[in-house]
């Protein structure tokens, strides 16, 4: 039981340490991160749509 408590305390301490050294991004950094994330989501969606379209066109149901 004390081993579990030690592991939980250690994880909690690590989370606190990360929160202490983190900072709020400025607007330019936020915009750049948002653009990259949206481009990634769009690419994954496009690839999925291409696979779907190819499967509808070439695989008879």
CA distance 61 to 34: 39
As given in the structure block, the two tokens for residue 26 are: 């400025």
Per-residue confidence (pLDDT) for residue 61, from 0 to 100: 66
Would you give per-residue pLDDT tens digits along the chain (61 residues)? 567 777 888 999 999 999 999 999 999 999 999 999 999 999 999 999 999 999 999 987 6
Per-residue confidence (pLDDT) for residue 5, from 0 to 100: 73
Per-residue confidence (pLDDT) for residue 29, from 0 to 100: 97
Per-residue confidence (pLDDT) for residue 33, from 0 to 100: 97
Q: Is 39 helix (H, G, I), strand (E, B) or coil?
A: helix
Report yes or no on whether pTM surpasses 0.75. Answer: no
Taking the C-alpha atoms of 52, 54, 59 and 61 in order, what is their torsion angle to the nearest 10 degrees?
Answer: 40
- Reference 49, options 25, 57, 1; nearest CA is 57
Taking the C-alpha atoms of 30, 33, 36 and 37 in order, what is their torsion angle to the nearest 10 degrees?
Answer: -100
């Amino acid at each position: 039981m004390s081993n579990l408590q030690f592991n939980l305390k250690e994880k909690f301490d690590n989370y606190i340490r990360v929160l202490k050294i983190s900072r709020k991004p400025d607007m330019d950094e936020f915009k750049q991160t948002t653009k990259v994330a949206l481009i990634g989501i769009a690419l994954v969606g496009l690839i999925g749509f291409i696979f779907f379209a190819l499967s509808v066109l070439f695989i008879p149901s």
